[in-house]
Amino acid sequence: MTAPHLLVELFVEELPPKALQKLGDAFATVLAAQLRTLGLADADSVVTPFASPRRLGVHITRVVAKAPDRAVQQKLMPVSVGLDASGQATPALLKKLQALGADVSDPVAAAAGLRRAPDGKAEALFYDSLVGGATLEVGLQQALETTLTKLPIPKVMSYQLGADCDLPGWSTVHFVRPAHGLVALHGHVVVPVNVLGLTAGRTTQGHRFEARKSPVEIADADSYAATLRADGAVIASFQERRALLVQQLNQAAELIGQGVHAIEDDALLDEVTALVERPNVLLCQFDKEFLAVPQECLILTMKANQKYFPLLDAQGKLTHQFLVVSNIAPADASLVISGNERVVRPRLADAKFFFDQDRKKTLASRVAGLDKVVYHNKLGTQGQRMGRVCDLSRAIAGLLVQAGVAVPNLVALAEQAARLAKTDLLTDMVGEFPELQGIMGGYYAQNDGLSVEVAQAIEDHYKPRFAGDALPRGQVGLVVALADKLETLVGMFGIGNVPTGDKDPFALRRHALGVIRMLSDQNLPLQLDELIAQAVPVFGDLITDPSKALGGFVFERLAGALREQGFSALEVDAVLALRPQRLGDVAKRLAAVRAFASLPEAPALAAANKRINNILKKADAATLANAHVNPALLQEPAELALFAVTQQLAARADQQFAAGDYTASLQTLAGLRAPVDSFFESVMVNADEPDVRLNRLGLLNTLSEAMNRVADLSRLAA
C-alpha cells in the first residue's frame, strides 16, 4: 500500500516579494531533505513547493507514519581498555554502555554481548543495537524547526505572541514575518506539530477580498492546491501563477495587435508574481505628451516605482499604453484602471520635469562640479578620476593610430567623450534614477549638439555592464570604455583593494571581463601589458605599481571565461601559459591547439616538449644565453637530422605563425615527431665535452622556441 502524502503550509503576513521564490523553494527542499534524512520520505518522493504573498507550503509524496528501525553499529573503545586481563568489563566500558542505555545489571552478559572486530592494528569493541524509527509527529516537528532556521531570510523580524504561549504579549518570536496559521496533513490526518507559537490544523486563509469561504478547510494533502484555488481564490504555486501572468500579458498585448508586446523582464515578472495571489492583467494608458521624454526614463519609473509592464511597438519603441497586474478581479475594472492611470501621471510628470531641467545646462558646464564629488578617499574626486581617464583615452587612441586602424580624429573625440562621460552624475534625472547613468549622458550630449560618436561613447562607456551585454559602438566608445575600466582596475589594485572570496565591492571581476571582451571580440591590436603600463603613470604617486598582480588577475578571469565557453582546462592552460598579449588571438590559438591535439603525433610531441623544457630548466640562464647551434659541432646522425628538419619546418611554421594561421603552424611542426624521437633515443644531451653539451642545449632551445610559439605544448602531456 502506498504511503499517504504530506502537506505543510505556513500562513504568514505579506512576505518580501523579491525573496519569495527563494523562500518557497528553500522551505520545500530543506523540509523534504530533513524528512528523507529521518527515513520518513524516500529519494523518489516528489516535492512540490508552494509560495504566495502570504504562505509558504510544500507537498511531498509517499511519507510514512513511522520510519523503519535501523541497525546501528557503534565503536566503543579498544579491547585493551574495555576488558581487563580476565576478560571482565572494566568500569570505563560499563559507564559507556550505561550512557548508551544498555542493560549493565549483569556485567558479564553485557560484555559478552559486544562484538570484537579489527580496528587498524588493534582490536576494538563494537555495540550493535536496533534504533527505532522516528514517528512522523516527532520527525516533522524536528524537520520544521530545522527548516525555519535554514531559510534564506533577508531580514528577520521580531514580534510577540498574543496567545498560546507562556507569557502572552511577552514571548518573542523571530521570523521573516509574523505567522498566523499552520497546516500539516498526512493524507487526511492532521499531524499535531507546533512552531512559531502555532499548532497545526487543517484550515487556512484565502484571498483577502475574493475568497469564497473563510477560513478555507483543506480535506487532505492532495486537495490543497485545488481547494485553495476554488474556495480561497488563491493560486498557491509560484510557477503556475507566473505562467498564468505571462499568458495574460501576452493575450492583452495581442488584443492591441500591430506587433505590440510587453517588455521582457524576468526580475519584474518574478516580483509581480510574488505580489499577487491571483493575477488579473488590465490595460491602461498615459498621455502621449510624455513620450517626448527618453523612453528609458519612462520605462524605469513604471517598472521600478509602480511594477507596471510598459508596452513596446514592433520596432521596440515605447507606446502610451501599459499593463497593470491587479490582485483583484472586479466585474467592472474601470475604477482599478483609472486609479492606476491617475497614479502613474505624477511619476511621468516628474521624469519630464527632470529631463527639461537637465537640458538647461550643458554637459560641459557640469565638468567643474565633478571636483566636488568624492570618488575614493585615496584616489581623489570624480574630476581627478576623469582627468586620468582622459589621459588614458588619449594614450589608447594613440596606440590605435600607430597601428593604422584608428578612425579619423579618434584622439580628440575620445578625449572629449572621456571628459564629459561622468557629468550626467550631476543631473537630476540620474540623481533620481542612478541606473540611467551613461544613458542620460548620451541624450544630453545630443541635446548639446555634440557628434554622434561622442554621444554614443558617453552612453556606452559603462558597457559591457554584465555578461552578454552589448559592447560599445564604434572606436570612440571602445577607447573610453577601456580607459574607464582600466583606470578602475589599476587604481583599486594599486591601493590594495583586491577582490577576496565572494567580496568584490568595486566589481573588479566584471571590469576585467569587460576589458577581455572588448580586446578579444573586437580583435583590437593592443597589448594587455602595454595598456596596464600606460595606465599606471596617470596616478602619479597615489598608487604602487600593480602591473604583475593585475595582469595575473585578468588572465585568471580569461581562463575562467574560456572554460565556460567549452574549452578544456588543458587547452586553456597550454595557450595562456605563454601570456599572449593580443587577446583577440586567443580563440585562434585555442582552435589550433585543439586541432593539433587530434593529430596522432600530438601525444609524443607534447611529451618530448615536456622533456625538453625540463632539461632547459636545469640549465642556468647564463648558459642558455650562450647556447647557440654551431653546425660544425653536430656529431651524431640523429642530431644532424633533427637540426636539418628543424631549420626547414621551423621556417615554414614561423611564416604561417606570422600570417596568423596558427593551426597550420602547429600542424607543420607535427613533422618533428620522428626526428625528435630519434634524437632522444640515440643522443646524450649532457655530453662530457662542454662545447658539444652547450651546442645540444642550443639545439633544444631552438626547437623549444619553434614548438611553443602558439602554445606551451608540454601542458598537453599526460
Would you list the DSSP string of 619-631? S-HHHHHT----G
Q: Which residues pair with 199 in a beta bridge?
A: 194
What is the spatial distance between Cα 61 and Cα 41, in angstroms, rounded to a whole number?
A: 8
635: left (phi over 0), alpha (psi -120 to 50) or beta: alpha
pLDDT of residue 46: 96
Model pLDDT, residue 128: 78
Residue 629 pLDDT class (50, 70, 90 cuts): confident
Mean pLDDT for 139-160 is: 94
pLDDT at residue 401, rounded to an integer: 96
Cell numbers at residue 695, please?
A: 651546442
Compute the 3-state secondary structure of the chain and give helix, strand, coil in percent, each to the nearest 5: 55, 15, 30
- Of 684 and 383, the one with more pLDDT: 383
pTM for the full predicted model = 0.82
DSSP state of 361: S
Identify whether residues 311 and 181 lie together within a single domain: no
Q: Is 127 left (phi over 0), alpha (psi -120 to 50) or beta?
A: beta
**Helices assigned H by DSSP within 421-473:** 428-432, 439-447, 452-460
Of 219-228, 341-350, 627-636, least confident by mean pLDDT is 627-636
Last residue of a domain, one of 358, 378, 407: 358
Do both 475 and 602 map to the same domain?
no
- Give the strand order in the sheet containing 280-285: 261-262, 309-312, 318-326, 280-285
The answer on 514 and 410 residing in a single domain is yes
| H and E: helices and strands count for the chain | 27, 20
Closest listed residue to residue 425, CA positions, set 374, 497, 389: 374
CB contact at 8 A, 461 and 421? yes
The pLDDT-based confidence of 623 (bands split at 50, 70, 90) is: low
Within this chain, do residues 483 and 603 fall inside the same structural domain, yes or no? Answer: no
pLDDT for 275 beyond 80: yes
Distance CA 671, CA 673 (A): 6
Q: Are residues 428 and 547 in the same domain?
A: yes
Do residue 453 and residue 558 come from a single domain?
yes
Residue type for position 338: S
* Residue 219 pLDDT exceeds 90: yes
Q: Are residues 442 and 539 in the same domain?
A: yes
Q: 568-619: per-residue pLDDT in tens? A: 999 999 999 999 999 999 999 999 999 989 989 888 888 888 888 888 888 7
| Contact status, residue 497 vs residue 526, Cβ threshold 8 Å | no
- How many other CB atoms are found less than 10 A from the CB of residue 188? 13
**Residue 571: inside a domain:** no
Identify residue 445 by its one-letter amino acid code.
A
CATH of the domain at 541: 1.10.3210
d(CA 37, CA 371): 61
> What pLDDT, on a 0 to 100 scale, did the predictor assign at position 153?
94
Domain membership of residue 378 (yes or no) is yes
pLDDT at residue 292 greater than cutoff 70: yes
Per the structure, the complete domain to which residue 636 belongs is given by 587-716
The domain boundary residue, chosen from 343, 358, 373: 358
Domain boundary among 179, 207, 232: 232
Residue-level pLDDT at 70: 76
Residue of 545, 485, 547 lying closest to 517 (CA atoms):
485
For residue 279, is the peptide bond before it cis, meaning its omega torsion is within 30 degrees of 0? no
Do residues 30 and 117 both lie within one domain? Answer: no
Do 414 and 529 fall into the same domain? yes
Task: Please state, in angstroms and rounded to a whole number, the distance separating the CA atoms of residues 74 and 376.
Answer: 60
Residues 151 and 100 in one domain: no
**CB under 8 Å to 154, separation ≥6 — which residues?**
16, 18, 19, 176
Are 320 and 193 members of one domain?
A: no
577, part of any domain: no
Q: Quickly list H helices, 151-273.
A: 224-232, 238-256, 266-273
Q: How confident is the model at residue 122 (pLDDT cuts 50, 70, 90)?
A: confident
Say which CATH number the domain at 615 has: 1.10.730.10
Q: 519 and 426, same structural domain?
A: yes
What percent of the chain is predicted at pLDDT more than 90? 72
Q: How many Cβ atoms are within 10 Å of 274's Cβ, its own excluded? A: 23
User: 249: pLDDT confidence band, cut at 50, 70 and 90?
Assistant: very high
Helix axes 637-658, 690-707, angle to 10 degrees: 30
The pLDDT of residue 397 is 97
534 lies in some domain: yes
pLDDT at 622: 67
**In which residue are the cell numbers 593610430 written?**
401
Residue 680 lies in a domain: yes
User: What residue type is 509 in one-letter code?
Assistant: R
**Ordered DSSP codes for 682-710:** H--SS-SSHHHHHHHHHHHHHHHHHHTSS
| 127 is a domain residue | yes
Reported confidence tier of residue 108, pLDDT bands at 50, 70, 90 = confident
pLDDT for residue 79: 82
And the C-alpha cell for 543?
598608487
Q: Which residues are CB-neighbours of 330 under 8 A, at least 6 positions away?
A: 336
- The structural domain count of the chain equals 5
Residue 71 located in a structural domain: no
Least confident span in 322-331, 546-555, 667-676: 667-676
The answer to whether residue 689 is domain-embedded is: yes
Q: Specify the range with the lowest mean pLDDT, choosing from 120-134, 259-273, 330-344.
A: 120-134
